[in-house]
Amino acid sequence: MKVSLRLVFFVVLALAALVGSVAAQDLQPAEGTLGPGEGAPIVEPNFGGDVATLNPILVSDGSSSDVVARLFPGLIALDPDSGLPVKGGDGGMALDWAVSEDGLVYTFTLRSDWNWTDGNPVTATDFKYAFDAITSGEIDSRISAAIANIASVEAPDATTLVVTFNTPECSALLTAQYVPFVPSVKYQEVYPTFADMTADHPYNMAPEVTAGDFQFANFRPGEQVTLLANQDYPDAQIGYVVPEGYVYKQVADQLVGVEQFLAGDVTFIESIPDDRVAELKALGDAGELIYGEGPSASWHYVIFNTADPANPQNGLDDSGNPIEQGQHPIFGDVRVRRAFALAVDHEALDAGAFAGLGTAIGSFLLPQSWAYNDAVAPWPYDLEQAAALLDAAGFVDDDNDPATPRVATEDALYAEPGTPLAFDMTSFSGNPTIDATVVLMQDQLSRVGFQMNLDIIEFQTMIGKILSQNFDTTMLFIGPFDPNDPNGAYELLDPSGDIVDAGLNIGSYYNDEFSSLMEEARSLPGCDPVARKALYDRAQEIIREDLPIYIVTNSTVQYVAQPDLLNYDPRQSSLRWNITMWSQVPR
């Protein structure tokens, strides 16, 4: 799966962020820019499994989100540099918005110049339809957890949208962004009821009506998704879409993707394997390609399943009360999770898997976030302390043989006496960094008595397994997180996201103080940043202490493009913000 400036496992559906918000009159195309549809198709590699759906209501993976972002409008334009909302910006439906005095009601004024490809206008009804579908309880959409604080959506007329929240929310605009616009007229024809919007419905993979800068052409399983330029797209920065199309091409892994890029078969790669960085940077310095890098909005991390994997349960019942989860026999004990972290040599891991580009962090927030607590230190490498914690947790070295795992004694909290300190690390192949990380980590953990068995499976199979919560640990790459929204990772760590087969909190973690702090910071009256940061600081301390997730590393992200790609202008919050004007002569 792609290691990139986008979500690999789950998707943040702020689609307008991928389009940008710089006014067309501010842009001057480079000399040699081609006319409408005359540019070579943009070919982007997909290092994971096939796209799962092109229905934005059902999207839950990064591959699908990349293509969906090219097909459907977003509510609010986001500045490609800061990622902050922009009224009336390119790529967003909202011209303006007003907020009620109590902070609960957001009234958006929408534009009227944007049409679906069947000629029908994009309206407030299209947003309300998507919200009603997501919250109907009749379909499986992971967006429902992200928008749980939205009480209602009303569309009094075509250009007026009223979004009411249950409680005031400092990041309300970003929350509203999770709801997509979909062609409600067409969807009601294709899906007579919300219950008909099943994951396997054929229309999900062949959308006839869209409204993005490109429109659907075809999907060839195992090969690619092909889109064609939509010359009726109203926000093309120079008045028209230059590339003939957009191809999302399936590639076996990142290494193959780099070779195809060097051969000229791929237009750009938004994140390259760490072990190829030096080579590609040198080619960039020589002018043989366009090379860039920026701060990563993502991190690699290990999720511990803290609950009983033999009996997965949702985190909350229908009344919002916690459901008894049971305990994982090994990782239900925080001392074992801490011993795991202490046994990982980040310096060696960074050198062996991340080419020295990784940065250890202890927080679930990004270092570039205004709410980042730099006092929350990464876990150190300390085998002696790790061994002491395992002894205290009742897992002992009973045979003085480092080649065998420790075993549980009667002092272990949740494991039966005699249970070996053995577990599966569920992961996927095709990502060289993760491939190397789990192998190195396996060796490191064995030095203190863990037996980590590698469960390497096909990506979509892995997704199904970990969503079902039938696993011990898994390693993923997740992002992008918005540095402007410290609640971006909340669903990973709150029981509202603990939904079997659907939610992000697949480790079933629950800490009442943490959830209360995050909720208070999210809805603090007046949204004072100093007061909010104090709350987030404590929340970060809790996650560092409880360790439901272990963040392996955060790093910079490197990206490359073909040397003859005109108007390519990657920005910190969006590499593709001006994709409609990218110009490359067909070969």
CATH of the domain at 155: 3.40.190.10
Residues 188 and 208 in one domain: yes
Alpha carbon of 226 to those of 184, 201, 361, 420, 449: distances in Å?
24, 19, 39, 50, 50
Same domain? For 334 and 435 the reply is yes
Asked, for residue 281, whether it belongs to a domain, the answer is no
Q: Are 216 and 227 in contact (CB under 8 A)?
A: yes
Where are the strands (E) in 440-495, listed by range?
451-457, 473-478
Whether residues 380 and 472 share a domain: the answer is yes
Rounded to whole angstroms, the Cα distance separating 554 from 177 reads 26
E strand spans, 9-123:
42-46, 77-78, 85-86, 94-99, 105-110
Beta carbons of 126 and 181 less than 8 angstroms apart? yes
Asked, for residue 41, whether it belongs to a domain, the answer is yes
- Does a structural domain hold residue 62? yes
583 - beta bridge partners?
566
Query: What CA–CA distance (Å, rounded) separates 487 from 544?
Result: 16
Number of domains in the chain: 2
> Is residue 500 domain-shared with residue 568, that is, in the same domain?
no
Contact call for residues 309 and 328 (beta carbons, < 8 A): yes
pLDDT of residue 385: 98
What is the SS3 assignment for 15? helix
Q: Residue 347: which region, alpha, beta or left (left: phi > 0; alpha: psi -120 to 50)?
A: alpha
In a domain, 2, yes or no: no
Q: What is the pLDDT of residue 197?
A: 98
User: Could you tell me which residues are beta bridge partners of residue 385?
Assistant: none
pLDDT tens per residue, range 400-419: 888 899 999 999 999 999 99
Same domain, yes or no, for 187 and 309? no
pLDDT in tens, 502-516: 888 999 999 999 999
- Residue whose entry in the numeric block shows the structure tokens 């002491």: 388
The answer on 238 and 157 residing in a single domain is yes
DSSP E strands, 21-78:
42-46, 77-78
Q: By CB neighbour count within 10 A (0-12 exposed, 13-18 middle, 19+ buried), where does 521 fall? A: buried
Residues 396 and 428 in one domain: yes
Full strand arrangement of the beta sheet holding 42-46 = 42-46, 245-250, 224-229, 214-220
Rounded Cα distance between 555 and 295, Å, is 7
Residues 325 and 260 in one domain: no
The pLDDT of residue 5:
27
Residue written as token pair 């029981």:
495
Q: Are 567 and 504 within one domain?
A: no
- What does each C-alpha distance from 261 to 45, 228, 267, 406 come to in angstroms? 9, 21, 7, 47
Residue 285 lies in a domain: no
**Rounded-to-integer distance, Cα 129 and Cα 151, Å:** 15
347 sits in which H/E element: helix 346-353
**Residue 275 lies inside a defined structural domain of this protein:** no
Alpha-carbon torsion angle 191, 197, 200, 202, nearest 10: 20
Same domain, yes or no: 58 and 166: yes
The CATH number for 513's domain is: 3.10.105.10
Environment class of residue 98 by beta-carbon count within 10 Å: exposed (0-12), middle (13-18) or buried (19+)?
exposed
Within its chain, how far is the Cα of 380 from the centroid? Answer: 27
Residue 463 has φ and ψ, to the nearest 5°, of -60, -45
Its domain, for residue 87, covers 15-267+562-581
Residue 10 included in any domain: no
State the pTM of this model: 0.78
Instruction: Say if residue 522 is in the same domain as residue 568.
Output: no
Q: Determine which helix (DSSP H) or strand (DSSP E) holds 292, and give its type and residue range.
A: strand 290-295
DSSP labels, 75-91: SSEE-TTT--EETT-TT
List CB contacts of 93: < 8 A, sequence separation 6 or more: 73, 74, 75, 76, 108, 110, 111, 114, 122, 127, 181
Backbone dihedral region of 561: left (phi > 0), alpha (psi from -120 to 50 degrees) or beta? beta
358, β-bridge pairs: 555
pLDDT at 26 (0 to 100): 58
Report how far Cα 152 is from the mean position of its chain's Cα atoms: 25
Question: In this structure, are strands 77-78 and 85-86 parallel, antiparallel, or unpaired?
Answer: antiparallel
**139, 57 Cβ separation under 8 angstroms:** yes
Based on the fold, state whether residues 443 and 517 are members of the same structural domain.
yes
Residues in the chain with pLDDT values less than 50 = 1-20, 23-25
